[in-house]
Amino acid sequence: MILATLTFSGWNWFWPVVGFVALAVAVLAWSYRASSGPGWLRAWCLALKAAGIAALAFCLLEPLWTTQRPRPGANLFAVVADNSQGLQIKDRGETNSRGDGLRALLDPRGQDWQATLAGTFELRRYLFDARLQSTADFHELAFDGRATALATSLRTLKERFQGRPLAGILLLTDGNATDLRGSALPDLTGLPPIYPVVIGRSDPARDLSVQQVNVSQTAFEDAPVSIQADVLATGFREPVVARLIDRAGRTVQEQTLDARKDGETLAFRFQLKPEQKGLSFYEVRVAPRTPPALGAPSDEATLANNSRVLVVNRGQGPYRILYVAGRPNWEFKYLNRAVEADDQVQLVGLIRVAKREPKFDFRGRSGESSNPLFRGFGNQAAEEVQAYDKPVLVRLNTRDELELRSGFPRTPEDLYGFNAVILDDVENEFFAPEQSQLLQKFVSERGGGFLMLGGMETFQEGNYARTPIGDVLPVYLDKPTEQAAPGPLKFELAREGWLQAWARLRDNESEERTRLDSMTEFQVLNRVRGVKPGASVIASVRDEHGAEIPALAVQRFGRGRSAALMVGDVWRWGMKDAAAHADMDKAWRQLMRWLVADVPNRVDLAVEPQPEDANGTVLLQVRARDAKFQALDDAMVNIEVEPVTFGTEAGAPSAPIHLQAEASATEAGLYQASYVPRLTGGFKATAIVTNSVGAEVGRAEAGWSTDLAAEEFRSLTPNVALLESIARKTGGEMVAAADLEKFARSLPQKQAPVMETALNPLWHTPAMLALALGCLLSEWGLRRWKGMP
């Protein structure tokens, strides 16, 4: 508020005026003293006549009323109107939409407030939805914007009027910003006072809105994908149906929940196993169980928020697991059979059938230890002579005849092609020192999975204590203080195991406990001293004395993960009956899935949404690595983006958009490209990486969904709290739509960047003349009324 001050331009008349007033008051006092009449009447008459004379004498000092006011035409003022789809909503009981009401407020034929503002300020008019755009008279208002980029628009205004005299912003919106999350406020630094005008009431028509959809994937075989859709039912007190639709338009699952009160959030949960590997797209659609009559319009506020597209990525595979065993056993037989049922996991076997040991001791010339039949043939160096006595290894399910031909890999290029490694009944001496180091780096640097199975030559019995491989394990391999657990061992899940979907075989606790109670008891266990800090015990066994002993432990190790299964006769589980055999196979498959989960590939593609961008922009990040899984810097990365359609259009081909990813300046091997979707729905991106010579390094796929309309209609109630906070923090105030004319008249009385001094002569105003005449006439009238002379 601007403050006014009183000044005088006739100070040279001050003392004469004071003398005149004093003399006049003295004469009047002497005159009324000699008059007849009551004392109070003479006092009132004296005061009125003295006040009239003083008012006339006051005018001789030429009083001026000095104020500051915005200089006309020197200040700018922005009127910003919301043009998003959210204003298509109709409030309860209204025939017109919120947008119709806003359009009427901005119509100069029925509202004069813009002309009032233009008399003092230079008006700038803008529309905003996903972006800010100028307008001459708001005739472009169509309320079809896909987003309400409130924060972005305010930032654009600040940048556009940087250094210019912007006196304020009149913001007409419902406040439901799509570029803000939760209760966050936009950056208001450097902005002038903002005066929000709330468009809409807090009682919209009834509506169903899919607020959010969460997708979680586990290694649980029966239902590896869990989907939860939170639906806000406004004004509904009836059953609501949610359907999960695939790309062909088929209903995969359907669920019905009752909305019992207004504003209730219904949580629909689906569990499914996609039929295909890789990317799968689905759509969640909600509707009242009783639809409107045929041909009748929907009574919902909007149908744009009744569906959401979601994406599920089950991975392309195959995930290759290297199984190394020191001797043939039943464990590999059952594990291999179980994995054969999973088309995305491939088990490659390297099994030793005979240890490295000489079969004969040839006695001949001094120092000769090889067969004399080969005397004179080839190189007779000592290392070549020893090569005749190698362990006998059998390779199974290899990619070609050269893979693993020399035994366990000795180079990163050979080992890093696998996603996980399993050791079973093989001692530490089987590995050369460089192979042990390589296996440790496979987990810590490459990010692979590692599992050691119990047996006669693993853990402590395999001399893995204080070795690179032993360091990877989640358990200590020091000699345990107790002897091996005697008698039968009862398998049970630990507390952490109950929380891991891949460790359970049933989808509810009661059935899982029943299954555990009926499991075959084991007989073989590798005892360990304890579990390392940071590791988790997933399962344990209980001996005949009731002592609980760790049986399955896991931990993160560097970029990868490791597990230790101390039970040495898991095969015994499947010998009970067919049902137990099926459970054992399922347990193996889920453990293998967990082992290879999140293992990086040579090419990985990640989709990073940009929440601050209201246009749904995503950042596509490609990480490329060479055969040693080192960052690949000199690569060429092309990305193809293809929109995903549903229903009858699912099979229609669509031309992909080609993007060229640029190398990141902050991370080696990272390539990035931005994509702004033009449509609502799902999108599939394929990254193709080639090296410096043009050879393809690898490919990666990723998917995401963009539903700007659903975000726009997430809340149908105006966000008054946000607008009040914006007004308070910028020094503005809330303005009611009905008070716009009053606001326009009061705005020139507020502070502005460019002000001027206004001098109003108080003595030359009718008010001063009226005051003087009023006092004198009142005195005369009072005397006449009481009969005084």
Rounded CA-CA distance 251/45 in Å is 96
Mean pLDDT of the region 360-378: 53
Whole-number pLDDT of residue 649: 57
Output the six-digit token pair for 374: 């080969």
Helix (H) or strand (E) holding 590: helix 578-596
Q: What pLDDT is attached to residue 409? A: 96
Q: Which helix (H) or strand (E) holds 565?
A: strand 560-565
Looking at residue 701, what is its pLDDT? Answer: 93
Is residue 113 pLDDT above 80, yes or no? yes
385 — pLDDT class (breaks 50, 70, 90)? very low
Give me the percent of the chain exceeding a pLDDT of 70: 90
| Beta carbons of 83 and 760 less than 8 angstroms apart | no
Does residue 118 register a pLDDT over 80? yes
Name the band, by pLDDT with cuts 50, 70 and 90, for residue 239: very high
**More reliable by pLDDT, 626 or 7:** 626
Across the range 150-154, mean pLDDT stands at 92
For 492-525, write each residue's pLDDT tens digit. Answer: 999 999 999 899 999 889 999 999 999 999 999 9
Let me know the angle formed at the C-alpha of 470 by 465 and 475, rounded to the nearest 5 degrees: 90
Main-chain phi, psi angles of 61, to 5 degrees: -80, -5
Scanning the structure block, which residue is given the tokens 């958009």? 657
Are 80 and 128 in contact by the 8 Å Cβ rule? The answer is yes
Q: How far apart are CA 447 and CA 39, in angstroms?
A: 107
Sheet holding 657-660, edge to edge: 657-660, 636-644, 681-690, 696-706
Q: In angstroms, rounded to a whole number, what is the distance separating the alpha carbons of residues 183 and 786?
A: 72
**CB contact at 8 A, 760 and 65:** yes
Q: What are phi and psi of 313, to 5 degrees?
A: -115, 105
Q: What is the pLDDT of residue 181?
A: 76
Question: Tokens representing 653?
Answer: 């081909």
Provide the 8-state DSSP code for 69: E
Q: What SS3 class is residue 536? A: strand
234 φ/ψ sector (left φ>0, alpha ψ -120 to 50, else beta): beta
Averaged pLDDT, 761-778? 78
Partners of 686 in the β-ladder: 640, 701
The three-state DSSP-derived secondary structure of 662-685 is: EECCCCCCEEEEEECCCCCEEEEE
Strands 670-675 and 618-624: antiparallel
DSSP H helical ranges for 84-198? 98-105, 113-118, 150-160
Question: Token pair of 762, please?
Answer: 């108080």
Phi and psi at residue 661, in whole multiples of 5°? -80, 145
- Contact by Cβ (8 Å): 753, 121: no
Q: Which residue has the tokens 């929940």?
A: 257
Q: What single-letter DSSP state applies at residue 382? A: H
Length of the chain: 789
By CB neighbour count within 10 A (0-12 exposed, 13-18 middle, 19+ buried), where does 188 fall? middle
Q: What is the mean pLDDT of residues 138-148?
A: 89
Q: Which of 183-192, 620-629, 663-672 has the lowest mean pLDDT?
A: 183-192
In DSSP notation, 289-309 reads SSPPPTTPPP-SS-STTSEEE
> Strand pairing of 681-690 and 132-135?
unpaired
| Six token digits for residue 385 | 């002579």
Asked if omega into 318 is within 30° of 0 (cis), the reply is: yes
Query: Which tokens belong to 518?
Result: 């009926």
Count, in order, helices (H) and strands (E) of the chain. Answer: 17, 34
- pLDDT confidence of residue 366: 55
User: Which residues, in sequence order, are bridge partners of residue 624?
Assistant: 603
Mean pLDDT to the nearest integer, 97-121: 90
Region of 558 (left: φ > 0; alpha: ψ -120 to 50; beta: rest) is left
CA distances from 765 to 56, 506, 748, 769 (A): 12, 92, 22, 7
Determine which helix (DSSP H) or strand (DSSP E) holds 371, and give its type and residue range: none
Query: 245: part of which helix (H) or strand (E)?
Result: strand 239-246
Res 447 pLDDT > 90: yes
**CA separation for the pair 739, 494 (Å, rounded):** 66
- Whole-number pLDDT of residue 381: 55
Where helices occur in 632-687 by DSSP H, the ranges are none
Give the chain's mean pLDDT: 87
Q: Is the pLDDT of residue 304 over 90?
A: no
Residues 371-392 have a mean pLDDT of 55
pTM of the entire predicted model:
0.74
Residue of 583, 597, 596 lying closest to 491 (CA atoms): 583
Both tokens of 711, joined, read 């975000």
Please identify which residue in the block is written with the tokens 């092309």.
Answer: 638
pLDDT category of residue 732 using cuts at 50, 70 and 90: very high
Checking if the pLDDT of 620 tops 90, the result is: yes
Q: Is the pLDDT of residue 440 over 70?
A: yes
Cβ pair 293, 253 in contact under 8 A: no
Q: What is the pLDDT of residue 285?
A: 94
Rounded CA-CA distance 106/117 in Å is 13
Cα gap 231→266, rounded to integer Å: 5
pLDDT at 637: 96
Model pLDDT, residue 147: 85
Q: How confident is the model at residue 486 (pLDDT cuts 50, 70, 90)?
A: low
CA dist 10 → 7, 13, 17, 62, 749 (Å):
9, 6, 10, 5, 28
Checking DSSP bridges between strand 122-128 and strand 76-82, what pairing results, if any?
Answer: parallel
The H-or-E segment that residue 580 falls in is helix 578-596
The CA–CA distances, whole Å, from 222 to 87, 227, 312, 562, 596 equal 45, 14, 16, 24, 18
- CB burial class (10 A; 0-12, 13-18, 19+) of residue 251? exposed
